[in-house]
Structure 1
């Protein structure tokens, strides 16, 4: 072949695959068959519910490592695909009853049906005896909203009873907390932290399904059996002795027991005139701990950038679920097909799409399957304190969690919409699919604080958590909302979150393609997306 013909052939070859065509071929490679196959594997009984510290973890992290290796991705933590996360596992045996004395009569609350309890203290046993109970409303100190439920109180050695969510719940007044959008003050994690700061011996949160956004069965499953915590030098002795939940019915009994039969504590507690008060009752309960120390693992793989490899886009999805636990309808394996088999399958498919590019992106892209999200975002929390990649050079975090496989939905919901310029990247990618962006349709559930993007945001990294919502193209919004409620009430954090051949993964594919599009765009730019004015994370980024 002469030189002219060779040149012509090479020229045609280059023209045949423009950067846009190269992108489109990779984008189109994300398919429903691959997603469903990976979800089915991750949610199979063989993986034993993917609980950290178990055989299920070993199977899961090795499967993920092998998937990333097969794609040709490099180890993401030096020469390893793993980042060790030191954890302590506490398995509590709780008293069968919580005794409430004082008032008009003694009340015995039954474990599991009426209350659940645990301790973060790494010790063989704990007990609180005849601890005075103080009703502290929402248990919130929020100076920016001129709110302090603990004002004038000394709760040292006492037990506080608090409501879930924050005082803005149900309000359209965005200046009152954030109205119906939950702030961090509404999260159970904050309430436990604040009670400990105030020196309380115990804290019990009153569960109510609307305020919590999930039924009491979710609390029962999450606050029983083995629970994991990050290793702490003080063995968590600074935390309350007992942390627990009680049912709304149990709280009603306690108010009635002090002669407040018709006390409507929700509207009372959100009034600016509300003052916390003693309930003239005492609480006694204890538990024994089985203690196990070990290490779990984040799984990290890296796609190398060609020009600025030190600048990184991080995809995240938690690989863990609840393992083998209390049986529900005869099934004890909490498979976690939707939560979060869908998210892990999505980032593997996105990783595969990047490897199909003929020209590498200018920046690097990291795929991180994190551990112990279900135990309080622990894997990503550990990463935020021990980052592998410099936060100041981490361009963005794109998080994937629990995409419901109900087919194409036209709305793509961003949790924490308005926080960062990543919203604009998502809008462009979504509109290319003929879809549209919507804020979180359930802001009262506090989704921004309930998945791993929160820990990336907490160290200043712009983070996006978005997914298809409820506007089903085939069946309409009302049907989509019904599916959301059905999943939350019947399958969320239960053994029934299982893979089915009936899964319609079209929506999962579309969301994964959106995330690939955003990551590809970011990975070829030289600018960094910013937090928007009013975001609590803006100042953190600007200090880096």
Structure 2
């Protein structure tokens, strides 16, 4: 029965126009006020667990109340997210064999253990290729190697990117196995003590400066009852030249072994040297917060369409000369402002949607999607009541385009909804030009995808403004600019509004396509709920 309902809904969808209510339209002034306020120095870079967070949370709640949005988290606007902050001394030194390496220049390292000191003590170093164990792809980089207590060196991305062969993983398009988060998780499951991922700009999708900036200063994390005792002593990255020196010291060719690792059947290689590293940490337990609101639906109010964005940036950093406030204007005050503006547009409708709209502003996206994971683990409503999600993680402030970007090609049925909504605007859907970067796995919607909830990512990190990644991304220079153009924002918000409106007044439940990593999870969730 449910399949028939979905089929009929899609049939009607194909002939229906994706057009927003003419009476509800984008207000450049209200959007501009939102983003300008959030990106101002007064908000101190919106760092979690800081005064900047307090100002941000208060502002978001106040604006939602003004719009008539109701509390969305069990009767409150706030979801408390227990977490910890940790800062590492940057005078650490990594020694592998007889070679010593300097932090920042040669490597970066941190931990998620809630201890004052972490150590690698004569830990055997093993090269494990891409560090992937993926039976469905016939890939077993660890083979039968016991890596408990060892320090692992591994490659960034996955073998599909290395070979550019569509029959290997997903070819150029990164899978979840290519994400650094997976690599650390798999190493933890196997009891490793340390991991160093070899950085390459092309394969990672960002330069070393982004890695270095992200690893220094204060980091945030979710903490378990053990104080994260099972985490890695060292979660790190190293430059390619660092890896080459280590391998060469043992008469091994890093580039040749890297090439070998792109072939099925690769076996881990012990480098015959040990790693030593001692790091001092400053830890603090605390709380951060997600902000959640809801616009209740009518006849299907227990079914929810989600609009999300992360409110955090990198706060203020000690030791940065000159401007030390990471305002995060594009990433992601622009996205938060987008969700607020959509909330305003939806609240001004003459008639509410049939389905409810859940608005969520997440903390600590920049340090591992922490707020989104906390939300996914403790949701305000069951995931089987979440129909679909639209996540905004930066907006186009360089002017109108004839396209809308799509991430995660071929994964979900919402992609066809996006194509039709774009066509209604006379625009085309442009596939991610850098699928090797794995952007689909790098924003908050991914935390919900892992629970089976389908969602589209709206992101414009430099596509319309190439200078942004090179000179402003994750830097103090990501500030509000008077030169911004809002025609692109207007088009994209009207497009997202039309998707929310269509899904919010529909009986359809768009799902994952065959072969998507999350299809079985979603199918099981919906079947248990009786949907």
Report the counterpart of residue 93 of structure 2 in structure 1: 97
Report the counterpart of residue 62 of structure 1 in structure 2: 58
Correspondent of 2:44 among 42, 48, 72: 48
> Do structure 1's residue 509 and structure 2's residue 490 form an aligned pair?
yes
Report the counterpart of residue 25 of structure 1 in structure 2: 23
Offset of 1:54 from its aligned partner? 0.2
Correspondent of 2:426 among 406, 421, 434: 434
Distance 1:158 1:292 in 2: 28
Distance 1:21 1:183 in 2: 34
Report the counterpart of residue 87 of structure 1 in structure 2: 83
> Do structure 1's residue 274 and structure 2's residue 274 form an aligned pair?
no
Offset of 1:323 from its aligned partner? 0.6
How does 1:331-410 map onto structure 2 within 5 Å?
331-410=323-402
Give the TM-score of the pair, scaled to structure 2: 0.92
Report the counterpart of residue 33 of structure 2 in structure 1: 37
Q: Given that residues 92 and 279 in structure 2 are in contact (C-alpha distance below 8 angstroms), is that contact kept between their aligned partners in structure 1?
A: no
Distance 1:20 1:277 in 2: 55
Report the counterpart of residue 165 of structure 2 in structure 1: 173
How does 1:128-277 map onto structure 2 within 5 Å?
128-260=120-252, 263-272=255-264, 274-277=266-269
Report the counterpart of residue 493 of structure 1 in structure 2: 474
How does 1:511-530 map onto structure 2 within 5 Å?
511-530=492-511
Distance 1:542 1:212 in 2: 32
> Do structure 1's residue 114 and structure 2's residue 112 form an aligned pair?
no
2:65 partner SS = helix
Report the counterpart of residue 316 of structure 1 in structure 2: 308
Distance 1:532 1:359 in 2: 33
Offset of 1:234 from its aligned partner? 2.4
User: How many residue pairs end up in the alignment?
Assistant: 509
Offset of 1:83 from its aligned partner? 0.6
Offset of 1:293 from its aligned partner? 1.0
Report the counterpart of residue 11 of structure 2 in structure 1: none
Aligned-pair RMSD on alpha carbons? 1.9
Offset of 1:354 from its aligned partner? 0.4
Distance 1:506 1:130 in 2: 58
For residues 79-119 of structure 1, give each alpha carbon's deviation from its aligned partner in whole angstroms, at most 9, with x where no partner exists: 31111111111112244321122xxxx22211122111111
Offset of 1:501 from its aligned partner? 0.6
For residues 31-63 of structure 1, give each alpha carbon's deviation from its aligned partner in whole angstroms, at most 9, with x where no partner exists: 333322221111111111111000010011111
The change in CA–CA distance for 1:453 and 1:208 in structure 2 (over 3 A counts) is: same
Distance 2:243 2:480 in 1: 37
Correspondent of 2:513 among 515, 525, 532: 532
1:465 partner SS = strand
Q: Which moved more, 1:401-410 or 1:258-267?
A: 258-267
Q: Which moved more, 1:177-186 or 1:252-261?
A: 252-261
For residues 188-235 of structure 1, give each alpha carbon's deviation from its aligned partner in whole angstroms, at most 9, with x where no partner exists: 111111111121111111111111101111111111121111121222
1:354 partner SS = helix
Q: Given that residues 96 and 274 in structure 2 are in contact (C-alpha distance below 8 angstroms), is that contact kept between their aligned partners in structure 1?
A: yes
The change in CA–CA distance for 1:399 and 1:376 in structure 2 (over 3 A counts) is: same
Q: Given that residues 52 and 296 in structure 1 are in contact (C-alpha distance below 8 angstroms), is that contact kept between their aligned partners in structure 2?
A: yes
Q: Which moved more, 1:344-353 or 1:256-265?
A: 256-265
Q: Given that residues 394 and 458 in structure 2 are in contact (C-alpha distance below 8 angstroms), is that contact kept between their aligned partners in structure 1?
A: no
The change in CA–CA distance for 1:20 and 1:460 in structure 2 (over 3 A counts) is: closer
Report the counterpart of residue 12 of structure 1 in structure 2: none
Consecutive unaligned residues of structure 2, counting only runs of 5 or more, are 1-16, 526-531
Q: Given that residues 412 and 468 in structure 1 are in contact (C-alpha distance below 8 angstroms), is that contact kept between their aligned partners in structure 2?
A: no
Distance 2:460 2:232 in 1: 39
The change in CA–CA distance for 1:146 and 1:345 in structure 2 (over 3 A counts) is: same
Correspondent of 1:291 among 273, 279, 283: 283
Distance 1:332 1:37 in 2: 23
Give the TM-score of the pair, scaled to structure 1: 0.90
Q: Given that residues 48 and 56 in structure 1 are in contact (C-alpha distance below 8 angstroms), is that contact kept between their aligned partners in structure 2?
A: yes
2:142 partner SS = coil
For residues 150-195 of structure 1, give each alpha carbon's deviation from its aligned partner in whole angstroms, at most 9, with x where no partner exists: 1131222210101111111144422201101111111111111111
Consecutive unaligned residues of structure 1, counting only runs of 5 or more, are 1-18, 471-479
Offset of 1:275 from its aligned partner? 2.6
Report the counterpart of residue 522 of structure 2 in structure 1: 541
Report the counterpart of residue 414 of structure 1 in structure 2: 406
